[in-house]
Amino acid sequence: MGATRSRLAPMGITLVELLVVLALLGVIGALVLPNLERFTAGVARNSERDLILNEIAGLGTEALLQGRGFVVLDTEALEELEAEADLDPEGQPGPLVHDLTGLPVHRLEIPAGWRLYLDAPLIVRATGACLGGRLALEHDDTPPVEVELVAPYCRVETGEA
């Protein structure tokens, strides 16, 4: 009887197989990474927008807790009023008062790159009641988000489904 040689399957992977897998990973990475950056920027932008809208929705509660009414101005009107205001010793504008209503101006915490546009100054009474209105939030690289503020509690309605 002759000795039979058994053929065993090769163990491991070859260099060619390894290079093919690395090339495929490189192609997939080149396609995915730019979109991943846009995705994360979009998520961050949406989070900032939601924070701004939540702050606006809470204006009535804030006025009620403070026991005083105030007015919210859009970005341009607030910048103009701050430019005209007297500066305190630290170089910051002092308390701002709206000319027409006589109410103090409330500064929203709006992140850099965002602009707030209002049809009319947003008046919030000391009772927490808001007179409502329309606003638009605009970021540097996206179209504006139109928002309706429904009186009497400044309920935010974006019109999104």
Nearest Cα neighbor of 105 from 61, 147, 63, 144 is 63
Percent of the residues in the chain that have a pLDDT greater than 70, as a whole number: 83
pLDDT in tens, 78-131: 888 777 776 666 766 666 776 666 788 888 899 989 999 999 889 899 998 988
Does 87 fall in a domain? yes
Backbone phi and psi for residue 114, each to the nearest 5 degrees, phi listed first: -100, 145
What angle is formed at CA 19 by the lines to CA 18 and CA 22, rounded to 5 degrees? Answer: 90
Burial of 72 (0-12, 13-18, 19+ CB in 10 A): buried
Does 130 fall in a domain? yes
Does 6 fall in a domain? no
**Locate tokens 């006589």: which residue?**
102
Nearest Cα neighbor of 136 from 82, 74, 58, 46 is 74
- CB atoms < 10 A from the CB of 15, how many? 7
Q: What is the mean pLDDT of residues 139-147?
A: 86
Joined tokens for residue 150? 């429904």
The rounded radius of gyration (Å) of the Cα atoms in the chain is 29
Could you tell me the residue range of the domain that residue 69 belongs to? Answer: 15-157
CB 63 within 8 A of CB 126: yes
How would residue 161 be classed by pLDDT, with cut points 50, 70 and 90?
Answer: very low
Does 3 fall in a domain? no
**pLDDT for the residue 91:** 66
Entry pTM: 0.71
DSSP-assigned states of every residue in 123-144: EE-TTS-B--EEEEEEETTSPP
Q: Domain with 30 in it: what CATH number?
A: 3.55.40
Question: Into how many domains does the chain fold?
Answer: 1
Asked if residue 47 has pLDDT above 60, the reply is yes
**pLDDT for the residue 1:** 52
Does 58 fall in a domain? yes
Joined tokens for residue 3? 């000795």
Q: H or E stretch including 55?
A: helix 15-57
C-alpha dihedral, 106 to 109 to 111 to 113, nearest 10°: 0
Asked if residue 29 has pLDDT above 50, the reply is yes
Does 2 fall in a domain? no
